[in-house]
Amino acid sequence: MARSILCSHLIPSISSSVPLKSSLLLQWPNLSKTSHSMLLINRRFSAAKISMSLRAGIVGLPNVGKSTLFNAVVENGKAQAANFPFCTIEPNVGIVAVPDPRLNVLSEISKSKKAVPASIEFVDIAGLVKGASQGEGLGNKFLSHIREVDSIIQVVRCFEDNDIIHVNGKVDPKSDIDVINLELVFSDLDQVEKRLDKLKKSKASNPQTKMKEEAEKSALEKIVVALMDGRPARSISLTDLEKDGIRHLCLLTMKPIIYVANVAESDLAEPGSNSHVQDVTNLASELQSGLITVSAQVEAELTELPPEERIEYLASLGVNESGLGNLIRATYNLLGLHTYFTSGEKETKAWTIRSGMTAPQAAGVIHSDFERGFIRAETVAYDDFVAAGSFSAAREKGLLRSEGKDYIVKEGDVMLFRFNV
Ligand SMILES: Nc1nc2c(ncn2[C@@H]2O[C@H](COP(=O)(O)OP(=O)(O)O)[C@@H](O)[C@H]2O)c(=O)[nH]1
Ligand SMILES: [Mg+2]
């Protein structure tokens, strides 16, 4: 059966979707000499960016605190960055800023009119129960939602509360994690077996196609062994060619996972003393996944308080910061993402790139024309920019470098692109 799959390929870019039109001028210093058509960006830009931002799906069994956490993340995000174009695309999808103190520092130095953080889309994916891969609960609908995200945040209930029913009758993180893993594994197994059957029957004669299919087949043969054993596809090491070969399948168990241990407020100060948290910690490390401890309830309550009272409330629980910043940051890091900045009077902006991206590719995240017409990038490390106080001072001190098309952009680079189209 032909199946069309919409999945995300980790493309933090608006490139192809937005035509370059002259309705918004980004004022970056020192660029005016290079090209007449440079830096003119369509206003539809921000809308397009939103739809292309990275997606993290919040999953877990019913009543573990997914929606509570989702709402807290979204509400907190709104409060963090008033300038940011937040929106709730659907009731269960929210866009949140990636907190980054460097943004405000740069913005002040450049006297920017606004500061625009990098963003991540969070999706509250309801409906997972045992048997989802066989169509129980929302079943396949639920699984198709997971297929569309770049990373998975699994909320695991570690709080005891007799008033809140646990679907399996008791709080048991290991069993919860197993249930979800198995549903994802079953779903992938089904897909991989079908695909392998198809590849075995393939009559491709084009050498290029043949080579690609061979790589895909060899990857799937390794993966199927892991899946049969209940292990995720991501536990298998694959060559680059094999990884490329299976990317189109958007396998659920290839996606990176962060476990969120949702604890009672009384456990927040010392989460390690809760045996459920210990279980999640051990499993997360076994599964080579990240772990964050939060109290979704506390986070939800915090969003209702004025900022000055939040610190007091957190202090009364024995902690000094909210867990949401950590969660958002961890999600960003889990995806292997980096940030570079553009900074000028008009705005200071954090841009998301994958690690290893070259200067033209990084420029392409702003607009495909920037990549196509790339000439050079003037680049200064964040600390050097802050120490110098401006692009021109950085240039005088020899801290601003002119980099070519092979330059690999580093975390925190502050950049000016010269391009010509
Ligand atoms: N005691 C306690 N209750 C929580 C916590 N997190 C969520 N809840 C409650 O658990 C119930 C289910 O939460 P919800 O977020 O709707 O769960 P979901 O089904 O996973 O989306 C709600 O009544 C929440 O108020 C927590 O950290 N502690
Ligand atoms: Mg819910």
The pLDDT value recorded for residue 361 is 93
pLDDT at 401: 95
pLDDT at res. 132: 65
CA of 253 to the centre of ligand 2 (A): 22
Q: Domains of the chain: which residue ranges?
A: 338-419
Q: Are the CB atoms for 190 and 96 separated by under 8 Å?
A: no
pLDDT attached to residue 40? 28
Q: Which ligand is nearest to the Cα of residue 61, counting in written order?
A: 1
What is the Å distance from ligand 2's center to 97 Cα?
A: 22
Bridge partner residues of 90 (DSSP): 93
Which pLDDT belongs to residue 80? 53
Query: How remote is the CA of residue 236 from the centroid of ligand 2, in Å?
Result: 32
Residue 63 annotated as part of some ligand binding site? yes
CATH class of the region 338-419: alpha beta
Q: Which residues surround ligand 2, an ion (CB under 5 A)?
A: 66-67, 126
Instruction: Using alpha carbons, list the distances in angstroms from residue 323 to 129, 243, 248, 264, 413.
Output: 27, 33, 34, 13, 27
Tell me the whole-structure pTM to 2 decimals.
0.77
pLDDT at residue 407, as a whole number: 97
Instruction: Flag whether 253 is marked binding.
Output: no
The pLDDT, as a whole number, for residue 78 is 62
Q: How far apart are CA 146 and CA 27, in angstroms?
A: 39
Residue 65 annotated as part of some ligand binding site:
yes
**Cβ count within 10 A of residue 135:** 12
Handedness of CA 146, 147, 148, 152 (dihedral sign): positive
DSSP strand pairing (93-97 vs 119-124): antiparallel
How many angstroms separate the alpha carbon of residue 364 from the centre of ligand 2?
37
Instruction: State the closest ligand 1 atom to the C-alpha of 64, by its place in the atom list counted from 1.
Output: 20
pLDDT in tens, the chain (421 residues): 333 334 544 433 333 333 333 222 233 333 333 332 233 222 223 322 333 467 899 999 888 999 999 988 887 766 554 444 444 445 688 888 888 899 999 999 999 999 998 888 889 987 666 776 666 655 566 788 888 898 899 999 999 888 888 777 788 999 999 988 888 999 999 999 999 999 999 888 899 999 999 999 999 999 999 999 999 999 899 999 999 999 999 999 999 899 999 999 999 888 889 999 999 999 988 877 889 999 999 999 998 898 889 889 999 998 888 888 888 888 888 778 899 999 999 999 999 888 889 999 999 989 889 999 999 999 999 999 999 999 999 999 999 999 999 999 999 999 999 988 8
137 annotated among ligand-binding-site residues: no
Residue of the CA atom closest to atom 24 of ligand 1: 65
Residues with C-beta less than 6 Å from any ligand 1 atom? 60, 62-68, 159, 161, 164, 262, 264, 295-297
| Mutation to probe ligand 1, out of 297, 302, 303, 327 (largest number of atoms < 8 A from CB) | 297
For residue 55, the model assigns a pLDDT of 86
Listed in sequence order, the residues at least 6 apart from 401 whose beta carbon sits closer than 8 Å to its beta carbon are: 378, 379, 380
| Choice from 163, 164, 167, 303 to test ligand 1 binding pocket (greatest atom count within 8 A of CB) | 164
